[in-house]
């Protein structure tokens, strides 16, 4: 029965007639005109078809129709879900702060988000089908074309791109990602362009600031460096190369011990460790450079992190060699008689105090001599001060040449000179030295602008033994001995030797 031609025809009529109203409802399409009767008549025709097909066939046909309607409803729901997913995806892509586009193999636009339209002044839907070069212009395209070709060849391309604008240069991070088919062939490109202007301007400003700082530090007359917490050199200015002949680039990344060498680390290592523990350290040390031996004043400043821990050390080293030399010269001038180049009164007193302390400690003996030029005032008055200065310089040089290099000859002022003799075995050892001085001066012949002059000297000697006494007492004894030499007729010496105080 169900396979008869009559049944199949009737069932087909019923199915078509039952499907019609459902189709129009699903499409939400009004039917008018000559076909306006179909939605009304179709159910009746469907019922008539079922009657003609028979009751059993009607039941089965109704089940088939119901299944078809369920399938159509599911399809409609799936389409709605697909549209909703596409809407959400589009909303998400449009909300991204980047230009996103999809091009086919011919560079035609298949998709562009809202940001692309805003940048180029087109609604995204109007850009569909348009080519990339049409929107960005030939000049811009010529700049980007090598990267486009690389992406079309299958290479993922990422680069930064500068775009001049009336309001200033804008910077973009550009990414071209190839789209491949199942066979791995490139069939299009995905484009993403992000505005990195703020970040790039910050980077450029930082680089410019760093360049200014490097220029400044490289021209400062000091060595500046930075060590990290592991004592690795992370920065050194140009002074390092000026002093040591090694480019800063070859020092950065090395341990400070390797960069400075063992000699410098021996002087600076302990101070660097103190700075590593958080202490600000100042020290002076020497360094052998290609300029010679440098005297350096160094300051180590620890850098502290947010938690108070030391994250690194700044080192600042200043060349104080010239200052040290000036200081040495000033000290030398302060301790030297400018006329005779002999030690002056200040230097003499320092040496005498040290000698007296050694004699007290060791029990050895020494001697102090006070001597002057006999009749110097008359020489100075008759021949003039220039002649007097010549006499004093010659007299000082003669005395200096007579004693040992370890003995001190000093000028106290005027024509008054002193000699300190140390390490004497006996106080009487000073007498032969005093006699040699008197003899040497006696044979000194001076030529003062054609005038031949001979001079003599008187010497008073006080022996310094282990007995406690003051500097003034010793000077008074030597001065009294000098008075005795002059009283005896000058051109001679007189020595005062006193026995040590008895031991209680």
What does the domain layout of the chain look like in residue ranges?
Answer: 5-90, 96-200, 225-324, 335-496
Give the pLDDT mean for 148-154: 93
From the CB of residue 42, how many other CB atoms can be counted at a distance below 10 Å? 19
Q: Is the pLDDT of residue 502 over 50?
A: no
- Please spell the DSSP secondary structure of 283-328, one letter per residue: EEEEEEETTEEEEEEEEEEEEE-TTS-EEEEEEEEEE-HHHHHHHH
DSSP-based three-state secondary structure for 146:
helix
CA diameter of the chain:
177
pLDDT in tens, 242-299: 899 989 889 999 999 998 899 999 999 999 999 999 999 999 999 999 989 999 999 9
| Residue labelled with tokens 């090395």 | 254
Q: Is the pLDDT of residue 178 over 90?
A: yes
- Angstrom distance (rounded) from CA 464 to CA 354: 13
Residue 175, CA distances (Å) to 33, 40, 115, 124, 494 in order: 57, 60, 15, 20, 105
Pair of tokens at residue 177? 């990602």
334 touches 346 (CB < 8 A): yes
CATH 3.30.70.270 correct for 335-496:
yes
CATH dotted code for 96-200:
3.30.450.20
Q: What pLDDT was estimated at residue 55?
A: 57
Q: Residues with Cβ < 8 Å from 300, sequence gap 6 or more?
A: 271, 272, 274, 275, 280, 281, 282, 313, 314, 315
- Angstrom distance (rounded) from CA 424 to CA 461: 13
Q: Is the pLDDT of residue 366 over 90?
A: yes
Highest mean pLDDT among 129-138, 320-329, 372-381: 372-381
Mean pLDDT over the full length of the chain: 85
Q: What pLDDT was estimated at residue 167?
A: 78
Of 33-42, 411-420, 424-433, where does mean pLDDT reach its minimum? 33-42
Name all contacts of 74-79 with Cβ < 8 Å and 24+ positions apart: 76/26
Q: Do domains 96-200 and 225-324 have the same CATH topology?
A: yes
Helices 5-27/38-53 angle, 10° precision: 150
Measured between its terminal Cα atoms, the distance across the chain in Å is 160
DSSP-based three-state secondary structure for 261:
coil
DSSP-based three-state secondary structure for 252:
coil
pLDDT in tens, 183-228: 999 999 999 998 888 888 888 888 888 788 777 777 778 899 999 9
pTM, rounded to two decimals? 0.52
- Please spell the DSSP secondary structure of 33-56, one letter per residue: GGGTTHHHHHHHHHHHHHHHH-HH
Give the pLDDT mean for 375-379: 94
- At residue 373 the predicted structure's pLDDT band, cuts being 50, 70 and 90, is very high
- Please spell the DSSP secondary structure of 393-431, one letter per residue: HHHHHHHHHHS-TTSEEEEEETTEEEEEEEEESSGGGHH
Q: Is the pLDDT of residue 149 over 90?
A: yes
**Pick from 102, 109, 105: nearest CA to 131:** 109
Give the pLDDT mean for 371-389: 94
CATH dotted code for 225-324:
3.30.450.20
Of 91-105, 133-147, 207-221, 427-441, where does mean pLDDT reach its minimum? 207-221
Pair of tokens at residue 267? 């002087």
- Angstrom distance (rounded) from CA 287 to CA 408: 33
Q: Is the pLDDT of residue 1 over 50?
A: no
Q: What angle do CA 180, 182, 185 make, to 5 degrees?
A: 40
DSSP-based three-state secondary structure for 224:
strand
DSSP-based three-state secondary structure for 220:
coil
Q: Is the pLDDT of residue 503 over 50?
A: no
Of 135-149, 301-315, 387-401, where does mean pLDDT reach its minimum? 135-149
11 touches 49 (CB < 8 A): yes
Q: What pLDDT was estimated at residue 6?
A: 53
pLDDT in tens, 329-361: 888 888 999 999 999 999 999 999 999 999 988
Q: What pLDDT was estimated at residue 27?
A: 43
- At residue 57 the predicted structure's pLDDT band, cuts being 50, 70 and 90, is low
Q: What pLDDT was estimated at residue 429?
A: 92
Q: What pLDDT was estimated at residue 52?
A: 52
453 touches 379 (CB < 8 A): yes
- At residue 5 the predicted structure's pLDDT band, cuts being 50, 70 and 90, is low
pLDDT in tens, 297-335: 999 999 999 999 999 999 999 999 999 999 888 888 889
Q: What pLDDT was estimated at residue 2?
A: 46
Q: What pLDDT was estimated at residue 26?
A: 42
Q: Where are the alpha helices (DSSP H) in 121-177?
A: 124-127, 132-136, 138-152
Q: Is the pLDDT of residue 24 over 70?
A: no
By the 10 Å C-beta count (0-12 exposed, 13-18 middle, 19+ buried), 385 is classed as: exposed
- Angstrom distance (rounded) from CA 413 to CA 333: 15
**Pick from 156, 107, 154, 158: nearest CA to 134:** 107
- Angstrom distance (rounded) from CA 239 to CA 309: 29
Q: What pLDDT was estimated at residue 23?
A: 47
Of 117-126, 308-317, 440-449, where does mean pLDDT reach its minimum? 117-126
- Angstrom distance (rounded) from CA 21 to CA 69: 11
Pair of tokens at residue 185? 């062939």
**Pick from 213, 300, 485: nearest CA to 374:** 485
- Angstrom distance (rounded) from CA 315 to CA 303: 11
276 touches 310 (CB < 8 A): yes
- Angstrom distance (rounded) from CA 274 to CA 40: 101
Higher pLDDT, 202 or 50: 202
DSSP-based three-state secondary structure for 371:
strand
302 touches 280 (CB < 8 A): yes
| 438, containing H or E segment | helix 430-442
**Pick from 224, 243, 221: nearest CA to 289:** 243
Give the pLDDT mean for 58-72: 73
Of 24-33, 132-141, 462-471, where does mean pLDDT reach its minimum? 24-33
């Amino acid at each position: 029965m169900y396979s008869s031609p009559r049944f199949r025809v009737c069932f087909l009529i019923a199915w078509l007639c039952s499907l019609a109203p459902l189709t129009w409802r699903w499409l939400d399409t009004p039917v008018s005109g000559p076909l306006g009767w179909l939605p009304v008549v179709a159910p009746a025709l469907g019922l008539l078809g079922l009657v003609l097909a028979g009751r059993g066939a009607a039941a089965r046909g109704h089940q088939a129709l119901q299944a078809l309607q369920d399938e159509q409803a599911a399809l409609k729901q799936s389409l709605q879900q697909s549209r909703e997913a596409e809407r959400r995806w589009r909303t998400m892509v449009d909300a991204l702060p980047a230009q996103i586009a999809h091009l086919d193999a011919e560079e035609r636009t298949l998709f562009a988000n809202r940001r692309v339209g805003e940048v180029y002044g087109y609604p995204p839907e109007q850009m569909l089908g348009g080519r990339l070069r049409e929107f960005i212009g030939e000049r811009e395209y010529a700049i980007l074309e090598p990267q486009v070709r690389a992406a079309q060849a299958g290479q993922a391309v990422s680069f930064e791109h500068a775009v001049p604008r009336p309001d200033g240069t804008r910077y973009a991070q550009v990414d071209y990602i190839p789209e491949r088919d199942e066979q791995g062939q490139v069939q299009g490109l995905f484009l993403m362009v992000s505005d990195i202007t703020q970040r790039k301007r910050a980077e450029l400003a930082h680089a410019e600031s760093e360049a200014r700082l490097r220029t400044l530090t490289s021209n400062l007359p000091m060595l500046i460096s930075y060590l990290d917490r592991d004592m690795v050199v992370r920065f050194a200015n140009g002074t390092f190369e000026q002093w040591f002949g090694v480019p800063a680039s070859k020092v950065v990344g090395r341990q400070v011990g390797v960069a400075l060498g063992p000699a410098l680390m021996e002087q600076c290592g302990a101070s660097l460790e103190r700075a590593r523990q958080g202490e600000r350290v100042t020290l002076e040390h020497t360094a052998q450079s290609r300029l010679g031996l440098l005297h350096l004043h160094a300051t180590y400043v620890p850098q502290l992190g947010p938690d108070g821990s030391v994250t690194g050390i700044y080192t600042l080293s200043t060349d104080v060699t010239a200052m040290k030399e000036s200081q040495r010269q000033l000290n030398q001038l302060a301790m030297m008689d400018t006329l005779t180049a002999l030690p002056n009164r200040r230097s003499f007193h320092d040496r005498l105090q040290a000698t007296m302390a050694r004699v007290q400690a060791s029990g050895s003996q020494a001697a102090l001599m006070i001597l002057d030029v006999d009749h110097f005032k008359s020489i100075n008055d008759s021949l003039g001060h220039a002649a007097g200065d010549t006499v004093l310089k010659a007299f000082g040089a003669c005395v200096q040449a007579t004693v040992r290099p370890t003995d001190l000859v000093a000028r106290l002022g005027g024509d008054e000179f002193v000699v300190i003799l140390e390490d004497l075995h006996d106080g009487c050892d000073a007498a032969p030295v005093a006699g040699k001085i008197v003899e040497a001066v006696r044979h000194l012949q001076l030529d003062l602008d054609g005038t031949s002059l001979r001079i003599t000297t008187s010497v008073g000697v006080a022996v310094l033994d282990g007995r406690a006494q003051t500097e003034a007492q010793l000077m008074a004894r030597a001065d009294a001995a000098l008075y005795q030499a002059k009283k005896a007729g000058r051109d001679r010496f007189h020595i005062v030797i006193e026995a040590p105080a008895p031991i209680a």
